[in-house]
Amino acid sequence: MKPLVLLGRSPELELTGLGTQRQCWRLQSPHSIPASDRDAALIAHHHDWELARANGYQLAIGRDARPDGISLSYIRLPGGFAALGDGDVVGVYPQSGRVRVLYRRSSRHNFFLVTERCNNYCLMCSQPPRKVDDGWLIEEIAEALALVDPATPALTFTGGEPLTEWRRFVGLLELTRDLLPDTAVHVLTNGRAFAAAEVAKAWAAVGHPKLSAGIPIYAAVDHMHDYVVQAKGAFDQTVLGVLRLKDHGQRVEIRVVLHALTAARLPETCSWIARNLPFVDHVALMGMEHTGFAIANDDLLWIDPLDYQQQLKAGIEVLATAGINVSVYNLPLCVLDPSVRPFAVQSISDWKNAYVPECDGCSARGDCAGFFSTGRPKFSRGIAAI
């Protein structure tokens, strides 16, 4: 089981007249005329070449070698690249010859990586932070947003820590609000930036109709949370950040990744959320993705989900009876206690979602999140068809 390939080096890149800077392109069927000067023709059949030329496309994108005699600029997708379709957006980097999928219109899980920088360093981070000067990513996203279908129901901004350059990020939120007014925007952030009044205020001032922040809290105890995120003072700042956001009437989701360090006191953590943060809009209790730092810290973090079902059940009961929306993400239904299953959501992004042989013939497969295909998957001993 392997995740979809969304980044690779093009074996054939010919961009005469289109410049050597990084550029965003939206794919369109050659049957329609380009809607903008950032639209490229998606070549699926041999006769698409003539259509593309006739309809005035500057650039074509396809999987096979460009036939002789074609004068259109061309990007050949790397072998094994994910299937692309009408409306998808790619980023092209001529200097390195790389192509990256930025947006897939048919996917339910589009996310934009805002930066790889982060002021936390979570033991299980699936996107390990790097100290790089990647401020250009925000510009690329701004260009891509102009090409995203306004009918897209939802987008996620993630990282690293998206609020690392918070002023520019707030600008990006304003752009999203204006270009895609009907698209719900979820931002995965450690929330620490909101401890500062001006950041929370700027976020609220965007006035986005459907904006929410997904903020992890791993324990109701300062040193435990700080240890998981490897930053002293993080718990204090994160909680203050949540309170400030809520003072401004903003939507907040609390996320708890379930592993050996968070599972032991999960009932207490959930009780604490129910008593102290009852106004949060959602709580997501999430199975751990075994990739990135999680592999390096496996001995500290790995626990078979079967072994924390009692804690999970107790935590959910407290949250649910307190009237708080709670969901379980990223865990297959078979390892969940039956009373927990109704809270499970099919949550693993389609590009990294897979099943195993035991899933054949399972009656609940259609509703099940399945497994992460990223990293080095570790499986519970409890996996079995229902």
Partner 1 sequence: MAGFASPDAFCPETSALQLLPIRFERLDADRFLVGNMVGDLAEMTAAELDRLCTLDIAPGDGLYERAFEKLFIGAVDERAQQQLLALRLRSRLSFLRAATPLHLFVVTLRCEHTCPYCQVSRQSKDRVRYDMDQATASKAIDIALCAPAPLIKIEFQGGEPLLNFDLIRWIVVTAKQRAVRRGKQLQFVIATNLALLTDEVLDFCAEHDVLFSTSLDGPRDLHNRNRPRRGQNSYELAVAGIARIKERLGADRVGALMTTTEASLGRVEEIVDEYLRQGLDGIFLRPLSPYGFAMTTKQFHKYCGQDWLRFWKQGLRYILDINKSGRRFPEFYSTLMLRRMLSDEPIGYVDLRSPAGIGLGALVYNYDGTVYASDEARMLAEMGDRSFALGNVDEHSYRDLVLSDTLVSAVADSLTQTAPQCSSCVFEPHCGADPVYHHATQNDVLGIKPLSEFCLRQKGVLTHLFELLEHSPEDAAILRSWAS
Residue 371, C-beta contacts closer than 8 angstroms, at least 6 positions apart: 1, 332, 348, 353, 354, 355, 356, 377, 379
- The whole-angstrom separation of Cα 190 and Cα 278 is 19
Query: Contact, 160 vs 113, CB < 8 A?
Result: yes
Binders in 263-292 for partner 1, by CB under 8 A: 265, 268-269, 271-272, 274-276, 278
* H or E stretch at 96: none
- The whole-angstrom separation of Cα 96 and Cα 119 is 29
Binding mask 102-141 for partner 1 (x = CB under 8 A): -------------------x-x----x-------------
| Contact status: 222 vs partner 1 (CB under 8 A) | yes
Measured between alpha carbons, how far is residue 132 from residues 70, 118, 136, 160, 291 in Å?
Answer: 40, 10, 11, 11, 21
Burial of 302-333, coded b for 16+ CB within 10 Å and e otherwise, reads ebebeebbebbbebbebbbeeebebbbbbbbb
Phi, psi of 284 (to 5 degrees): -110, 120
| Contact status: 308 vs partner 1 (CB under 8 A) | no
Binders in 316-345 for partner 1, by CB under 8 A: 317-318, 320-323
Closest CA to 276 of 233, 318, 234: 318
Q: In the bound complex, what is the minimum distance in angstroms from residue 37's beta carbon to partner 1?
A: 42
Segment interacting with partner 1 (CB under 8 A) among 19-27, 39-47, 203-211, 230-238 = 230-238
Q: In the bound complex, what is the minimum distance in angstroms from residue 236's beta carbon to partner 1?
A: 4
Cβ-based nearer residue to partner 1, 243 or 364: 243
Cβ-based nearer residue to partner 1, 48 or 289: 289
Cβ-based nearer residue to partner 1, 236 or 307: 236
- Angle among Cα 66, 69, 71 to the nearest 5 degrees reads 75
Binders in 238-267 for partner 1, by CB under 8 A: 239-240, 243, 265
Q: Which residue has the tokens 């006769």?
A: 47
Binders in 23-42 for partner 1, by CB under 8 A: none
| Contact status: 302 vs partner 1 (CB under 8 A) | no
Number of residues that bind partner 1 (CB under 8 A): 36
Residues of this chain that bind partner 1 (CB under 8 A): 121, 123, 128, 220-224, 226-227, 230, 232-233, 235-236, 239-240, 243, 265, 268-269, 271-272, 274-276, 278, 293, 296-297, 317-318, 320-323
